Amino acid sequence: MSLKMSRKIMPLRYAPISIVLHWAMLLLITGAYACILLRENFERGSDLREGLKTWHFMLGLTILLLVIVRIAARFLTVKPPITPQPPALQRHLSKAVHWGLYAFMLGMPLLGWTILSAEGETIPFYGLELFPLVNPSKALAEQVQEVHETLGTIGYYLIGLHAAAALVHHYFFKDNTLKRMLPVRRRA
């Protein structure tokens, strides 16, 4: 098969690495949200509360690491087309939401890292201690914390909008938007 001919054959699904990273990111983001929300149920200073806070940070930094891999995979693999192709407005809205999600997955961990740095705390990462991004500053920590919390709330809406759009495309528009990102089922 010639190179010219192979370029015309488009995959029906995203590359396996993109699919795995997509669903792994969902689990990691869910875990990060769960840790920070669950910690409120425990007394300040308790081991469980501090453990949940530490896991929140480590999951956030894992998200940061994997989103960089995910962005590389996005540029290095072929994006399967949506069939039938949606109208231009839907394509533009989709791009905006995807850019927002990538900004969220990059920005939130960096903001969290900045908060810990500004508070003068250690930055835990699975037994390692990462370097601080900024010098200690209580005022900076408070400002960045507000931004982090606001973006955390916006993240709920972005993720919800992304999931709802996939379901609307699948059940109402009956296109392959969702199927492109689902893992391949093994046949019995």
69: CB partners within 8 A, 6+ apart: 17, 21
The 10 Å Cβ neighbour count of residue 10 is 10
**pLDDT value at residue 2:** 44
The token pair that represents 8 in the structure block: 């015309």
Domain range annotation of the chain: 12-181
108: CB partners within 8 A, 6+ apart: 60, 63, 148, 151, 152, 155
Question: pTM for this structure?
Answer: 0.91
Looking at the predicted structure, is the pLDDT value of residue 3 above 50?
no
Instruction: Give residue 9's pLDDT band: very low, low, confident or very high (50, 70, 90).
Output: confident
**pLDDT value at residue 185:** 78
DSSP state of 40: G
CATH architecture of 12-181: Up-down Bundle (1.20)
Instruction: Give residue 1's pLDDT band: very low, low, confident or very high (50, 70, 90).
Output: very low
Looking at the predicted structure, is the pLDDT value of residue 6 above 60?
no
- Dist. CA 103–CA 71, nearest whole Å: 11
- Dist. CA 20–CA 171, nearest whole Å: 23
